[in-house]
């Protein structure tokens, strides 16, 4: 049997080693978690792209357009004004290939108004009986007219830059309508020491800051049909809403159908649950007794 003093010493040594082991394990765990956290942050930064501080453009603020709510629809007065801005300002350079005049019926104009608008343009059609192409007045089934016959003509008229088609511009740009609004209203003088090449303009919301499109919107540039004050921000907002609609014409129908589907499925679930209890509750709760 070991002496009491030796027992006490062994106990103290064991206690000391246990404490040291716990401290070492705690430090290792903390180091491991810190490394895992750093790796997660690094991986997240790699997956999500460059950080805002190292970007060469300013991130557009979330302006919160009305239609972006889960149960919200487009403001069609704004869509109509936006189409007017596109038609009178943007259509001279940018196409809208995925939209036909018929898509605008009941959205921006009545059928009669759009027939009149479409008839103002000449569309090449054919061939006729002699095998020749001919021109005719536009119809509702025709797409909105392109400003240039091909990309080469577009580049020749814009110092080598081809204006993009605007049909899906909202979906193809990070920030969507917020980016478009910021871009159209964000033209400023270049910072001190920055020199731009001829034909380029400074816009901090555009990647690199140098954009080939000069400022297009000015206060009072057009006159709205409904009397809305024609400011730069109002025109930028309206054309952003119109292009958001153009990229998603089924937006309102999809939300309406989704709500109807959710209501129908919810009702079906309630009826199914009630039927399940009605059918199986007596079977699951019945009690069987045996008598002699």
At 283 the pLDDT is: 84
* Section 141-160 average pLDDT: 94
Helices (H) and strands (E) in the chain, counts: 8, 4
At 24 the pLDDT is: 63
Instruction: With a cut of 90, say whether residue 100 has pLDDT above it.
Output: yes
pTM as predicted: 0.77
* Section 70-78 average pLDDT: 94
At 180 the pLDDT is: 97
Query: Looking at 35-39, 59-63, 264-268, which range is the least confident one?
Result: 35-39
pLDDT tens digits, 146-155: 999 999 999 9
* Section 187-192 average pLDDT: 93
Q: Using CA atoms in the order 23, 26, 27, 33, what is the torsion angle rounded to 10 degrees?
A: 180
pLDDT averaged over every residue in the chain: 87
Instruction: With a cut of 70, say whether residue 44 has pLDDT above it.
Output: no
User: If DSSP codes are grouped into helix, strand and coil, which group holds residue 136?
Assistant: strand
At 9 the pLDDT is: 44
pLDDT tens digits, 209-230: 999 999 999 999 999 999 999 9
How far, in Å, CA of 248 to CA of 145, rounded?
20
* Section 244-269 average pLDDT: 96
Higher-pLDDT residue of 195, 7: 195
Cα–Cα distances in angstroms (integers) from residue 208 to residues 89, 94, 101, in the given order: 25, 22, 36
Query: Looking at 8-12, 26-30, 66-70, 120-124, which range is the least confident one?
Result: 8-12
pLDDT grade for 288, boundaries at 50, 70 and 90: confident
Nearest CA among 177, 108, 174 for reference residue 144? 108
pLDDT grade for 132, boundaries at 50, 70 and 90: confident
Tokens in use for 190?
């270049």
How far, in Å, CA of 61 to CA of 71, rounded?
22
């Amino acid at each position: 049997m070991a002496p009491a003093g030796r027992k006490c010493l062994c106990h103290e040594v064991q206690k000391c080693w246990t404490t040291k082991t716990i401290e070492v394990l705690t430090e290792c765990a903390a180091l491991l978690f810190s490394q895992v956290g750093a790796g997660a942050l690094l991986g997240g930064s790699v997956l999500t792209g460059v950080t805002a501080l190292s970007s060469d453009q300013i991130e557009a603020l979330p302006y919160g357009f009305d239609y972006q709510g889960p149960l919200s629809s487009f403001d069609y007065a704004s869509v109509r004004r936006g189409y007017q801005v596109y038609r009178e300002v943007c259509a001279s350079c940018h196409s809208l290939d995925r939209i036909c005049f018929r898509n605008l019926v009941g959205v921006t104009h009545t059928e009669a108004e759009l027939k009149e608008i479409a008839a103002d343009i000449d569309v090449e059609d054919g061939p006729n009986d002699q095998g020749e192409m001919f021109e005719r007045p536009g119809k509702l089934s025709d797409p909105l007219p392109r400003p240039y016959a091909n990309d080469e003509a577009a580049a020749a008229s814009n110092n080598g830059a081809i204006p993009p088609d605007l049909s899906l511009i909202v979906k193809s740009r990070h920030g969507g309508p917020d980016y478009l609004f910021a871009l159209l209203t964000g033209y400023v003088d270049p910072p001190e020491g920055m020199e731009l090449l001829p034909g380029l303009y400074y816009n901090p919301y555009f990647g690199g800051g140098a954009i080939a499109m000069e400022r297009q919107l000015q206060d009072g540039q057009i006159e709205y049909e409904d009397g809305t004050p024609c400011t730069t921000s109002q025109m930028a907002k309206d054309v952003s809403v119109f292009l958001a609609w153009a990229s998603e014409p089924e937006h309102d129908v999809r939300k309406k159908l989704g709500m109807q589907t959710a209501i129908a499925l919810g009702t079906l679930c309630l009826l199914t649950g009630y039927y399940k209890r009605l059918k199986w509750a007596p079977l699951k709760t019945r009690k069987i007794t045996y008598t002699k």
